[in-house]
Amino acid sequence: MRYFSKHYSEAICIPVMADHLFIPLEQIEFSFDRHRRTTATQALLEYRLNRLCDQMSEDPAGAISKQVRSCGLGSPGHTNAAFEKYFGIGIIDYHKQCFLAAAVRCQERSTGRDCVGDDWVSDLSASMTKETKFHRS
């Protein structure tokens, strides 16, 4: 996972990574299966998708395609399918939620009052308010 955190924005091939780390590929796959119940490839995808969430939360005004590329992910369309499968919401809807949350935080800072309420969220579509893994307890 440390390798992923340092190189996730780069093209990573798991067998090449194993050679670079001087660890047999079978041992890497065994370790991921045993400790994370997934493959190394799937763990890398999940790591990248989580970094994409972080980037969209931190910079909701940023271009989605640029954020996708900076996380080492493929085309936005392919990434959206994986994102939706993993989080249960599409990239655009998640991005809209991040943008709305940033706008509310900005408004709260400028007015000094709590701006979250029915008047702020009543116009959200059902697709923008889907529950994701981040919202479940």
**What digits encode the pLDDT tens for the residues 19-49?**
988 999 999 999 999 988 999 999 999 999 9
Q: Note the pLDDT of residue 114.
A: 53
Residue-wise pLDDT for 59-107, tens only, equals 988 899 999 999 999 888 889 999 999 999 999 999 999 988 888 888 7
Whole-number Å distance between alpha carbons of 126 and 130: 7
The answer as to whether 37 is a domain residue is: yes
pTM above 0.85, yes or no: no
Could you list the residue range(s) of the whole structural domain that residue 102 is in? 2-129
* Domain presence at residue 70: yes
- For residue 103, tell me if it sits in a domain: yes
Strands (E), the chain: none
Number of domains comprising the chain: 1
* C-alpha distance from residue 116 to each of 28, 38, 57, 82 (Å): 46, 39, 17, 31
Mean pLDDT (the chain, rounded): 81
Q: Is 134 inside a domain boundary? A: no
Provide the CATH number for the domain around residue 17.
1.10.10.60
**pLDDT bucket at 130, cuts 50 / 70 / 90:** very low
pLDDT in tens, 47-61: 999 999 999 999 988
